[in-house]
Each structure stands twice: as C-alpha cells, then as structure tokens.
Structure 1
Amino acid sequence: MSLPLSDAALTTLALALAGTLGLLFGKLQVRKVGLGIGGVLFSGILIGDLAARAGIGFDEHVLHFIREFGLILFVYTIGIQVGPSFFSSFAKSGLKFNLAAMGIVFTGVAVTLAIFAITDLPLPVLVGIMSGAVTNTPGLGAAQQALSDVGLSADEIGLTGMGYAMAYPFGILGILITMFTVRFVLGIRIEAEEAAYRAESETGEASLPAINVEVTNANFDGVPLGSVPDLFDAGVIASRMKKRGELVVPTREQVVHLGDSLHIVGPAEKLAAMVMILGRKTDQALTTKGSRLTWQRLVVTKQKVLGRSLRELALVERNGVTISRINRAGVELPAQAGATLAFGDIVTVVGTPQEIETVRERLGDEKARLDEVNFPALFFGISLGVLLGSIPLAIPGLPAPLKLGLAGGPLMAAIILGRMGHLGPFTFAMPPTANHALREFGIVLFLAVVGIVAGDRFLDTILNGDGLSWMGYGVAITAIPLLVVGFVARVFAKFNYLSLCGVLAGSMTDPPALAFAVSMSNSGAASVGYVSVYPLVMFLRIMMAQVLVLLLSGVAM
C-alpha cells in the first residue's frame, strides 16, 4: 500500500503521531504511577504494527538519523543539567548513596550475565531487556550503537527495542514493589523517618549556616581581620561587622577590637572553630535593618566575570561590598577568595545601596538572560561530544576497542562543559525550561523510532514467541538488585528509608518512581537521594550497556 506522501513525509507523520499518542498515553496514571515518557515507545509499537499490517514502509535511513539525533540531544542536555553537581555528589552522604546505587547497577549486570550464561537469549534481546528492566533509555541507545559497531544487521538491532518494551513496565513497578516490601518487612514508620531526617538535616550542610561572634580573645585586639586564621580564605566569610554600634562591611584591612561583633557564614564545623578562635557566640543582632547597609541577591550573567575568582574581582577593595554566599544550582557554596563565578550563580551581596548598584553592573544581574539558550554553545558541545565518542579506547579483555559512542561521548562532553560553565564565547549553562524541552524532544524522537522499528514483530513475539520469558528475565534484572541492595542499605548501612527510596528511584533513573517516593513525605529526603546518584548512575548505565555488548559479542557469535 502506498500513500501520496514522500518517504520523508510519511516517516515524519508516523513519528509525530507516535509522539502525540505516546505523550497522552503516558499521562494516564494509577495512584500517581504511569508510563510517563515510556508511553511513546508503546505508541510507536502500535503504529509500527498497524503500518506492517497495511503494508506501509518507512525510510530506514531517515529513521536511523532521527533515532541517533534524538539520543544525542537527550544525553547532552542530561549532561549539561547534572554537570555542575556531578563531582560534588560524591561528598559525604552522597558517597554512601552512590555506593549503594553502584551496587544496584553492578548487581543488575551480574544478573544479566547469569541469564546469558544459562539461556540461549540473543545478545540484542538481552541488552534490550536489561535497559528496559532498569528503565534507562540512553543505555538502550548505547547498546544499539555498540551492536551496530560489531556488525549486526538492522533487523537484529531492532530486537533490542522489543526486549526493552517487554521489560519496561515491570521496570517501573519493580521499584515501587521494592519500596513497599522493605517498608513492610522491616516495619518502617514514615513519621519516624521524617523526624530522623529533619534531625539529621539540621546538623548537615544543605545550606551554609551563619552565626554572630563577639571578639573576646585579647590576642586579636588591634589586629587586621586578614590576620585571623581561616577567615576569608578557608570557607568562612565575615559578611557584616558591628563596631561601636555601627554596622560596617568587614575587609581584610579592617582592624578588630575587643567587643566588636562579626556575622560569619560557612560550614558548621568551621564556624565552631572560628568561635573558639575569636571569642564567644552572641545573640546580638547584626541585621542590616535600620543601618546604612543592605543586602541583595544578584545573578551572575556578565561574560567578563565568568571563571574569575572573588580575589581577582576584588569586590571588597574596589566596591566596598562583601559576597557572603554563592548559590549554584540550589547548592550554597562558601564565598572564599578562591571561589570562581559561573553563569547563573546567585550571589548574596552586602553593602550600601549605591555600592550594590555598582556591583550589579559588574556582575550583570540580567535575569532575562537565564531564559536564553546559547545555541552556538549547544552545537559546539554536541560536535565535541560526537568527536569524543568516536575515539577508540583499547581496554584489556575486550575483543574490540570501547567507544563512548553517540550516547556516552555527548554525555561525557556535556558533564565536563557543564562543570566548566563557560569556555571563550560559549556559555554552556542552559535554562531549566529549555533544557527540559530539548531533552523531552530528543527522547520522544528516539523512543518513537525504537517503537516503530520493533512494532511489526512485537505482538507476534508475545503471542507466539518468547515474549513472556523475556518479561520474566526482565523481572529478575529489576527485582534482585533492588531487593538485595535495598535491604542491605537499610539493615546494615542504616539508610533513612525516605532517602533510600530516592536512591532506589535514582539508581533506575526513573522520575515516576521519584514522584511516588516524594508523595510519601513532606521532607526533601527522596529528592536529595535521587539527585545525589542520578549523574553517576546515568553514566554507568550507558557505559555498562556498551561493555556488555563488546564483552559478549565474541561469545554470542
């Protein structure tokens, strides 16, 4: 059957219909759980099945290009989003969370290898099931490209989409079942977990605390503030100072006397040390209200200050203001002299209104720029990622060189560029709304193609083939790692249950599971756990899919 449309137009029509129906289907929820973006995969399968029955074919070259481009766009925007927090996610509790998430990833790989060893499951199906069981679409894309690199045909590669679709539904349900199972077996009470998390958070460093200190140590009477150990350069900053009843901006040259009070900001343990050095904690108010000083939050948008340290900018010396806090992507950083500014940073500035206006001009504070996408930077980053993904990496034990590919290369490039923030004329930070839109657009294109390609064989595989056994393998890859690590993390590592739920959802990179975990409590524990592990898990899922293909391709062929 032929329609009065060109091949490109017909393929575009099919993709658009798959996206439309899939996004609507994905919004359907039962108790706040739905397929989400995965609905596009199943609508693509439906369209692929109907097209095959009607004898309608699609341009394979167009489908291939759109699939790869959608994948690149998706993983690149993920990398830009997680780049600023990728390395800091390993600090303190984040390290514990990431170790648990790594346990889930590697246990899942071990289960996959065991299935390969005891069954005759084709390799494309196996890696598709693994990606669907952990609801990780970039891993599916990485596996498909790796299969193409080792010489498999388009028909064989298409089997990965069917394996993915078979395992995907329980991939979502399995996380929720694990959360319920751990809670029921161990008799966990949500109210107690909320109270424990609040108590833990009050002593943590989610945001930088501040205290007022009165100088009573005679050793510092008549000494410049710059001579006080660890002040200004070790993560502690004095933002306000009261001398003889007058509030002033503290500078390194400012001489301190007994009875003076300082408002200092920094990590809790360093504040405690500073109290011991200077004197005693005081409840004396050092508010700017009623004084000649005020404070404002300014957004860093000027190109010329990006990447420069506070020491280089010399805001105290040249403008008479103090930067007390730097908020970067929701995380407060110490405003020490060596701290550098990145696009989109929100800095708290203390000074007179006139001085703050001068600093506003230096920093930019052009909030409208936060809604702009630097498209030259976007295309530069993607091109760099494609080149990075094409570099062969010889790893002992693998039959062929490992390539980051079109999934891993753009992801790695985006993480690095997102961490850098800017390079020459390029600003890599991307407004959240634009990032979300580009990411959704990319993944819709990718899943629509995967579904359409798999659609002509999907129902037949379930009804007359091995579809049900594939689902069973997916259940094992989903459930075993989650249950094992979930119980170990709770019983032996003493994870807060709400944080554990966030880690479980993050280890599967599954937003619907996070939404369910968040709905159990008013605390932010689940979100913190999810965000802490998401960057590393996404990277590992993509790399493990490729490693498995290269490792097992020689055995399977």
Structure 2
Amino acid sequence: MDIPQLIHDHPEITIFFSMFIGHLIGKIKIGHFSLGSVVGTLLTGLVVGVAYVPDIPEVVRWAFFDLFLFAIGYSVGPQFFSSLKKSALPQIIISVTVNIGGLLAVIGCAWAMRFDTGTSAGLLSGSLTQSAALGTGISAIHELNIGPAEKDRLSSNVPVADAMTYVFGDIGLILLLVVILPAIFKIDLKKESADLEEAMRTGSSDDSESFFKIANKETLRAYVVTSTDFIGKSVKDIETQFVANRVYIEKVQRGGNLQTVAPELILNLGDIITIAGWRPGFIQGVEKIGPEIDSNEMLSVDHSERQIFVANKEIVGKTLSEVAKQGRGLFLKKILRGPTEMPLLPKLELHHGDILYLMGSTENLDRATKIIGFAESDPHKSDLAFLAFCVCLGTVLGLLSFHVGDIPLGLGSSGSILVVGLIAGWAQRRFPKVGRIPEPAQKLLIDIGLIVFIAVVGLKAGPNAVDAIKAGGVMMVAKILFAGAISTLVGPILGFLMGHYILKQNPALTLASLGGAQTAMPSLNALQDASESKILALSFTLPYAIGNILLTLWGPVIVAVSRLWQ
C-alpha cells in the first residue's frame, strides 16, 4: 500500500487515525491520572504530522472548533447565570482569584523567560488544562498583523508547549489539592465531608430521605386487602406507615372496577391494590395487608424515567426535603448540575437548570413536570437552525475589533461564539420550545468539535514542532516545564489562601472550588475518592462554569500581552 499516496488522496484519514490512537493513549490510567483523549490525540497528530504532511483545509479545524465553543457556552450558560447571586459570592471570588492568578503567573513566566507568543499561549492552555484556550490562542495569532510564515511558526509552538505542560497541569493540581494543602493545613477530608453530610441531613424527615434511596430498586406488587389492620384505613394512612421505604398505592380495584386513587380513599375488605416502592418495604410489613396475587391488569403500571429541568421560580432554591413533600409516587435517581452529579442530601438546594432524573408513573411524572419546570419534548431532536444561527451571529460579532499596532483588541470570533452560546443556553431554559439541543447532543458537539480541532492542530504543527524543539534545545524544554509547574500552582494556592483566611470557607469545599476553577474534572474525582463522599461536588460546579469561560477568554489575552516583549 502506498501510504503517502493514500494520505494525499484522502487526508481526512489522518484525522481519524489520530483520534483513534489518541483515545487508546487516553485510556491508559495510572491512579487518578491519565493523559485523556485530547492530549493523546494532540500527541498522535504531532507524530503523524512529522511523518506525513496531510493537506487539510483550514476551514475544517475552525468549523469544528466553533461547534465546540458554542456547545461549551450552551452547556454551562444556565449554571453560570443561575448561580450569580449573593450566596454564591465566595465561590465566585475564589474562582476569579484562581483564574486571574493563573493568568498573571503565565504572563510573569512568559515575560521572564522571553517566550514567543505561540509558546506563551501553549503555556497557558497546558498548565491550566484548558484546551479551549489553545484554540482561542491560535485564533488570536491568526488575527495578528504579521506575515503568514510567522503566523504558522507561532501557531505550531502553541500545541508543543501545551503538550509539555498539560501532564503536570493535571498531576500537579491533584497532588496540591489532595496531598499537599491538606497536609500543610491539617485538613481531614473524610471528617470534613462527613460533617458536611450530617449537617445537610439534620432535621430531615423519613419522607425526604426515602425520596432518593437510589441503592434499592423499585418494585411493583399486588395484594388483596384482608387484614383488619388495614381495612378502613385511608391510602394516606398506609403510605405514611411505610414512608421510610417510599411505598405508594398506584391502583385500587373494587368489585372489578378501578377506583380513582386519592390520599383520602378508604380501603375495604377484598380490594385489590397495587403497591410500588423500594424493595425493603416489601419485607417489613407490607405483606400483612393480605395475600399477594399475580394480576397482569394490576401490575401493568406505566412506569418510566424522565429528565426534568428545574425552571419554575417556585422550585428554585427549595431543598430536596421540601420538594420530596410534593413527590408522591416518584423516585429520584440522580441530579445533574452541568456535567457534575450532585450528592442526594435533604438540604441540597435546587438551582435553575438542574436536571432531575425521576422515576414513576406517567401521571405522577406529568404532575412533577408542571411543578418543577419542563421535560425535553423530543430528546432525539436538536434545533440545528438555532445552532447555525448562533454560530453565524458569533462569527459576525467577532469582527467588531480594532488593532493597536499588530495587536487585535476584541473578543474575536471564538470569544464571541462562546458568549453567544452562554446566552443561548441560558435563554433556552427560560423559553424551552426554542433552540433545544439535548444533553447527549451537547456532549457529542463538545467531544467531536474539540477532538477534531486538536487532531488537525497536531497534524499541521508536526513538522514545525520538530524544528522548534531542535532550535530551543534541552534548555528551552526545561524552561517550559518549569514555567508550566509554576503557572499550574500559583492560581490554586492564591485561591486557597483567599478562601481559607479571608472568606473563612470550609477548607474541603474550598479545595473542590479550586479544582472547578481550573476546570479539572480529575481533581474532583480524586477529592471524592479521598473523602469517600460526593458532597464536595457542591462547590465544584459554579467555579467549573466560570473557569470554562475565563480560561477560554485568556487565550486572546495572553497573545495580546505577549506581543509587548516580542
């Protein structure tokens, strides 16, 4: 097989090959650390680009990067805007401190070591583990008033510096949050998390606790009422008796006719009832109602799972304990806030845009949907016209910039598309009939948009990357690695000092906020494993949303600032 000819005729094969090998590399895991598919794809693209130089049009990488930026903004928009309130001010301050501290550290290191603009941009995206900043940095370089050859050289230096510093960006942050800071400040992650969980359970009722006993599977059974202990009792009386295991009467048949089930309905001798609930409830007294029967009619209950978005003002700010009182016949499996699964605790407050995964009958789910907000009308359909319009709008708004010397001042197309995505995601949760892009589609746009962009960046940078490393030598590599380590650690350290000494925040929650601000999902996983609790996710989601926005916007900023010493 003539491989060079194959690549010449089908250059797209190099993109998919880089993605394939990159994902295999990304799956290699050592403890909590793995390179991930993005860095794996970048490294593979660089190697393939050195061996073969595929002719891939520029429009390919920018089209996919635009999709990625819009999807990122769209996905974090609801969480970002809904959390901008007084109670969230400490997390906002910590997040901004981390992000500005990281930017200043990158600027300081790049200036001290006289890195060129491309290396400076790669230092930022790699050390702060924000691949979107790699794209916005390259985009800003292409806006500079410099020659095409210089643009190509600087653009090629971005992924090289990114790949060099990304590894410590992940490992260094995890060590800082899980080992170093807890050791220095004597933070017992397990105890702090246990105390937080206990505080969020105090005063809760059996009803609210049973709302989310997700460890037990739901069961349906039918019984004939024969026990005198239950004859003459109301539906509400029986459900209250077994509230700890969330037992509900779904159907009542009397004399061959189905009755309308209401809390005040009185059960008679010989009634056939269908009970739904968690399994333990059926071995703790339910069988005393009477003999169990097998009835297709009574056991045919239309139970399903539904994703319901929190949108109604009456529900926003309510705790799960309060919501559980309106949750008759419903079972909560999980709650997502952005990409993060929340701990199911009675005092967890619901935010606008949270997604509740509820199980129950169609009737009960319809009732819950009206109370909570809305459900996706068609989870398999995306509003592509809305997506295309927003990307076009962002691109046009990005043209609103001006130059000072060779430095462009403005959001640029990348920053504008991100901002449009933020607003679009926020607006869609308030007007759900327009612009709906289901969660799986958002994730696909984010994954495929970024990974194709990264693959093309690596393929195009490969030849120049070798020249850059040869020209800089071992000393340049050492400088980049050293600068990357400093840039990774400065922001989180400043953020911790701010949270611990000035804002007086819980130290464990502060650590999770630092990981969120640095958009490092592996750090949350490491903290949850170390604390043996999911409660630290409470302080991760808002900083994660803020970090995704600010760190992405820092790409053009570092490009503009670095021109001052070129």
CA distance in 1 between partners of 2:134 and 2:203 (Å): 38
Once the two structures are superposed, residues 443-487 of structure 1 have per-residue CA deviations (whole angstroms, 9 ceiling, x without a partner) of 111111222223224456556621221111111111222223224
1:160 equivalenced with 2:154 (yes/no): no
In structure 2, the partner of 1:550 is 560
1:527 equivalenced with 2:528 (yes/no): no
In structure 1, the partner of 2:516 is 506
Once the two structures are superposed, residues 503-531 of structure 1 have per-residue CA deviations (whole angstroms, 9 ceiling, x without a partner) of 22212212222222222234333322221
Matches within 5 A, 1:179-190: 179=177, 180-190=179-189
Query: How far 1:29 moved relative to its partner?
Result: 0.6
Counterpart contact for 1:36–1:512, Cα < 8 Å = no
In structure 2, the partner of 1:173 is 171
More moved, 414-423 vs 385-394: 385-394
CA distance in 2 between partners of 1:204 and 1:407 (Å): 48
In structure 1, the partner of 2:41 is 40
In structure 2, the partner of 1:494 is 504
CA distance in 1 between partners of 2:15 and 2:67 (Å): 16
* Aligned residue type for 1:436: K
1:70 equivalenced with 2:79 (yes/no): no
SS in 2 for 1:126: helix
- Structure 1 stretches of 5 or more lacking a match? 52-56, 211-244, 249-286, 311-321, 333-340
In structure 1, the partner of 2:400 is 391
Counterpart contact for 1:196–1:496, Cα < 8 Å = no
Counterpart contact for 1:84–1:329, Cα < 8 Å = no
Q: Structure 1's 8 and 80: CA in aligned 2 closer, same or farther, altered over 3 A?
A: farther
1:86 equivalenced with 2:80 (yes/no): yes
In structure 1, the partner of 2:420 is 413
CA distance in 1 between partners of 2:92 and 2:440 (Å): 27
In structure 1, the partner of 2:25 is 25
1:381 equivalenced with 2:390 (yes/no): yes
Matches within 5 A, 1:446-457: 446-457=453-464
Q: Structure 1's 373 and 329: CA in aligned 2 closer, same or farther, altered over 3 A?
A: farther
Query: How far 1:365 moved relative to its partner?
Result: 7.9
In structure 2, the partner of 1:15 is 15
* Aligned residue type for 1:190: L
CA distance in 1 between partners of 2:139 and 2:96 (Å): 24
SS in 1 for 2:409: coil
Query: How far 1:66 moved relative to its partner?
Result: 2.1
Matches within 5 A, 1:404-483: 404-421=411-428, 427-458=434-465, 461-462=468-469, 465=473, 466-483=476-493
Q: Structure 1's 298 and 171: CA in aligned 2 closer, same or farther, altered over 3 A?
A: closer
Query: How far 1:556 moved relative to its partner?
Result: 3.5
CA distance in 2 between partners of 1:484 and 1:343 (Å): 30
Q: Structure 1's 355 and 502: CA in aligned 2 closer, same or farther, altered over 3 A?
A: closer
* Aligned residue type for 2:166: Y
CA distance in 1 between partners of 2:182 and 2:311 (Å): 46
Counterpart contact for 1:138–1:407, Cα < 8 Å = no
CA distance in 2 between partners of 1:116 and 1:355 (Å): 59
CA distance in 1 between partners of 2:61 and 2:395 (Å): 15
CA distance in 2 between partners of 1:389 and 1:487 (Å): 37
In structure 2, the partner of 1:270 is none
In structure 2, the partner of 1:193 is 192
Q: Structure 1's 204 and 448: CA in aligned 2 closer, same or farther, altered over 3 A?
A: farther
Query: How far 1:134 moved relative to its partner?
Result: 0.2
Q: Structure 1's 484 and 356: CA in aligned 2 closer, same or farther, altered over 3 A?
A: closer
Query: How far 1:99 moved relative to its partner?
Result: 1.0
Query: How far 1:82 moved relative to its partner?
Result: 1.0
Counterpart contact for 1:105–1:537, Cα < 8 Å = yes
* Aligned residue type for 1:389: G
Query: How far 1:123 moved relative to its partner?
Result: 1.6
SS in 1 for 2:485: helix
Query: How far 1:101 moved relative to its partner?
Result: 1.6
* Aligned residue type for 1:193: E
In structure 2, the partner of 1:237 is none
1:118 equivalenced with 2:129 (yes/no): no
Q: Structure 1's 525 and 8: CA in aligned 2 closer, same or farther, altered over 3 A?
A: farther
Counterpart contact for 2:54–2:459, Cα < 8 Å = no
CA RMSD of aligned residues (A): 4.5
Query: How far 1:25 moved relative to its partner?
Result: 0.6
Counterpart contact for 1:461–1:467, Cα < 8 Å = no
SS in 1 for 2:29: coil
Counterpart contact for 1:344–1:429, Cα < 8 Å = no
Q: Structure 1's 33 and 364: CA in aligned 2 closer, same or farther, altered over 3 A?
A: closer
Normalised by the length of structure 1, the TM-score is 0.68
Counterpart contact for 2:65–2:449, Cα < 8 Å = yes
Query: How far 1:536 moved relative to its partner?
Result: 1.5
Query: How far 1:48 moved relative to its partner?
Result: 1.7
Counterpart contact for 1:161–1:451, Cα < 8 Å = yes
Once the two structures are superposed, residues 219-248 of structure 1 have per-residue CA deviations (whole angstroms, 9 ceiling, x without a partner) of xxxxxxxxxxxxxxxxxxxxxxxxxx9999
Q: Structure 1's 307 and 505: CA in aligned 2 closer, same or farther, altered over 3 A?
A: closer
Normalised by the length of structure 2, the TM-score is 0.67
CA distance in 2 between partners of 1:130 and 1:41 (Å): 16
More moved, 138-147 vs 190-199: 190-199
Q: Structure 1's 187 and 426: CA in aligned 2 closer, same or farther, altered over 3 A?
A: same
SS in 2 for 1:541: helix
* Aligned residue type for 2:145: G
* Aligned residue type for 1:405: G
1:59 equivalenced with 2:55 (yes/no): yes
In structure 1, the partner of 2:142 is 148
Matches within 5 A, 1:217-232: none
SS in 1 for 2:190: helix
Counterpart contact for 1:299–1:364, Cα < 8 Å = no
CA distance in 1 between partners of 2:511 and 2:468 (Å): 34
1:485 equivalenced with 2:495 (yes/no): yes
